[in-house]
Structure 1
Amino acid sequence: MADHRTAQPPAHGPQMVTSKENDVTTVATPPDSSKTEWRPTDFAIKVAQHPRAPIVVALIGVCVTMSVLSDAFLTQRNLTNVLAQSSVVGIAAVGATFIIITGGIDLSVGSNVALAGMVTATAVNKGFPPLLGVALCVLLAVAVGAFNGSSVAWLGLVPFIVTLASLGMGRGLTLQISEGQSVYGLPETLTWLGGGEIGAVPVPLITMLVVFAAGHLVLTRTTLGHKIFAIGGNRQAARLSGIRDKQILFIVYVIAGLCAGVAALILVGRIGAATPTAGTGLELQVIAAVVIGGCSLFGGKGSMIGTLIGILLIGVINNGLTLLNVSPFWVQFIQGALIFLAVLLDAFNQRRLKTAAI
């Protein structure tokens, strides 16, 4: 009699297999299709999707281009000089990163640096002890930050208007105190922070890295940092969750003032004098570095690592264009163009996120 059994399709999962020779039943397990081998292309895709990938690629591209166009670019002396020159902007940008993450802005950083440096240099030249002069510089800059913070947090004023007013007042006071003249002949105790070296490493570079490390730890490892992000993401929701938003905003602007004071000491030490026009345009470079580094002007997004990369990118561009004898006016134009591109990309990203949420 014929066997008319219908062939069944193989079932998924382990199959029972019988061996007729020794009458032993074994289980054959099919290969797990969920486990895939690691491929280099997967790693490349993950790296390309990282938020800071574009700026890192841009930094590498600029470095390669400048090294081809100028033989002096990749020398140890020039690279050290680039890092040291970026220290003033870098330290000021640490404070600006905190502010921009909250959704605010600080246009007074340049005049704050100039005022603190000029008052300190004038006081030291008139017999004030240099170490007390250092303390005076930092305290004065912190006081300006506290004024901005109080106006924004407690009076509810718009950060743009408040810091714009501080910019004008600070620059006017600097010119009045100095009578339009630079102050020279400063003692080495005051200029060491900006012009000294520890071994072969410039003190400004060490100071900048320490400030960035401290800012990174505060932003990522402390409750204050989490509250700053919360306020920048949604201030009303942060307030309803129990965060004292006014106090946090005040602290953020005070931190920015502290960074401006340290930047003032480095600037005075680097040039060996205090000038009434010091820090002019510094706010443009600071905002450019922070925004290019990935901070959103809408608030709630940013990192110290991104800001550091933005600082390096701007420093490399400035140095490279100087080596190529490009007009400083074009350098300023390029900085403005970079800010525009960064803000444009941020606006597109915000629009994309809102569309996806809908």
Structure 2
Amino acid sequence: MNQTLTASPNRRLPINLRDAGTFFGLVLIFAVFAVLNPVFLTGPNLINILQQSAINACIALGMTFVIISGGIDLSVGPTAAVSAIVGATLMIAGLPIPLAVVAAIATGMACGLFNGTLVAVAGLQPFIVTLGALSLYRALALIFTGGNPIFGLPTEFRQAINSLVLGVPVPVIIVAVIAAVLWVVLNRSPLGEYILAVGGNQEAARIAGVPVARTRITVYVLSGGLAAVAGLILTGRLGAADPTMGNLWELDAIAAAAIGGASLMGGKGSVIGTLMGAVILGGLRNGLTLMNVQAFYQLLATGIIILVAMLIDRATRGKA
């Protein structure tokens, strides 16, 4: 089994042809906006694009692993909200910031564990499970806070999230480190082989000895943990934990993964591609905003790009 999986193009090449196509699309979009508005390619604006893309990239990386395994996670937004509320509440209560951050991430992972257990052990459909969890976690966030944001976060936490390291925003660095680790997991570890195998053919993977249930639970735990990280980043930037945060984050995450080459049928996806997909969406919105294009036209442009990405995926499926 290991020999078969190792021979796949995803694992031979540091960047596959689908990633190269995504990169070409990224360059094309940036080139168009650079011509239309000279401000677009300035250093401060590029940093702004990366910072705006960091939250979606963090969510989308976890979503990519879920999609590769053949699942979907619609609850990432409310998971981020619940996790951020737990972290903010503990910080305000006086718990040391590192411990509060760990507790918030653990909350997100617990939400993912709940989702994954229902999918992998109870045998429920991922769409239905995570759709129900979306309402459940959002309700918990609203009930706990009474629908009001939590203010009064420690200054040290806010400064840490909003600071720069060598001119690069901390959220961008956090996401870059996470992406590097996940690239190694997907391309150089047995877990990555298991995820690809489960998404490619679950029954064949089971017969080959892959721990299917454990693998599927793991990707949902990962998705929940990364949703929590994204929630903490936004909380630090805003200075408050809002129970309504994360609205439609799942759609942006799915879009970034799809643009980056992840197949919603499972068995295919790329960490590098997802990062580029998130930057494409961030750059598109930033460029359209600079051109004073109204928000609903931005949604139209995003939808068109997603559909084009799906058509490209279908046309290139099975071709290396």
What TM-score comes out, normalization by structure 1 length? 0.81
1:263 is aligned, of 230, 233, 239, to 230
Q: How is 1:194-209 mapped onto 2 (pairs within 5 angstroms)?
A: 194-209=161-176
Q: Structure with the greater relative contact order (CA < 8 A, sep ≥ 6): 1 or 2?
A: 2
CA distance in 2, matches of 1:87, 1:193: 15
CA distance in 2, matches of 1:349, 1:54: 11
CA distance in 2, matches of 1:107, 1:276: 17
Equivalent position of 2:275 in the other structure: 308
- Say which SS state the counterpart of residue 139 (structure 2) adopts: helix
Equivalent position of 1:129 in the other structure: 96
Q: Does 1:99 align with 2:80?
A: no
Q: Deviations over 1:225-269 (max 9, x none)?
A: 011111111110010011110011111111111111211111111
- Given that 1:191 and 1:265 are in contact with CA atoms closer than 8 Å, whether structure 2 keeps it comes out as no
- Say which SS state the counterpart of residue 148 (structure 2) adopts: coil
Equivalent position of 2:208 in the other structure: 241
What TM-score comes out, normalization by structure 2 length? 0.90
Give the structure with the higher percent helix: 2
CA distance in 2, matches of 1:194, 1:347: 40
Q: What is the one-letter code of the residue matched to 1:312?
A: V
Give the CA deviation at 1:193.
Answer: 4.5
- Say which SS state the counterpart of residue 38 (structure 2) adopts: coil
Q: 1:165 to 1:345 in 2, by over 3 A?
A: same
Equivalent position of 2:154 in the other structure: 187
Equivalent position of 2:259 in the other structure: 292
Q: What is the one-letter code of the residue matched to 1:223?
A: P
- Given that 2:19 and 2:270 are in contact with CA atoms closer than 8 Å, whether structure 1 keeps it comes out as no
Equivalent position of 1:150 in the other structure: 117
- Given that 1:191 and 1:266 are in contact with CA atoms closer than 8 Å, whether structure 2 keeps it comes out as no
Give the CA deviation at 1:342.
Answer: 2.5
CA distance in 1, matches of 2:309, 2:233: 28
CA distance in 2, matches of 1:55, 1:108: 27
Which structure 2 segments of 5+ residues have no match?
1-15
Q: Does 1:215 align with 2:182?
A: yes
Q: What is the one-letter code of the residue matched to 2:186?
A: L
Q: CA RMSD in A?
A: 1.7
Equivalent position of 1:82 in the other structure: 49
Equivalent position of 1:336 in the other structure: 303
Give the CA deviation at 1:338.
Answer: 2.6
Q: What is the one-letter code of the residue matched to 2:46?
A: L
Equivalent position of 1:230 in the other structure: 197
CA distance in 2, matches of 1:287, 1:192: 30
Moved over 6 A (4+): none
Give the CA deviation at 1:172.
Answer: 1.2
Equivalent position of 1:252 in the other structure: 219
Equivalent position of 2:8 in the other structure: none
Q: 1:74 to 1:349 in 2, by over 3 A?
A: closer
Q: Deviations over 1:316-342 (max 9, x none)?
A: 101111111222222233323333333
Q: 1:258 to 1:313 in 2, by over 3 A?
A: same
Worse-matched range after superposition: 185-194 or 92-101: 185-194
- Given that 2:19 and 2:272 are in contact with CA atoms closer than 8 Å, whether structure 1 keeps it comes out as no
- Say which SS state the counterpart of residue 82 (structure 2) adopts: helix
Equivalent position of 2:247 in the other structure: 280
- Given that 1:97 and 1:303 are in contact with CA atoms closer than 8 Å, whether structure 2 keeps it comes out as yes
Q: Deviations over 1:270-290 (max 9, x none)?
A: 122111221111111100000
Q: What is the one-letter code of the residue matched to 1:251?
A: T
Which structure 1 segments of 5+ residues have no match?
1-48
Q: What is the one-letter code of the residue matched to 2:90?
A: A
* Matched residues, number: 304
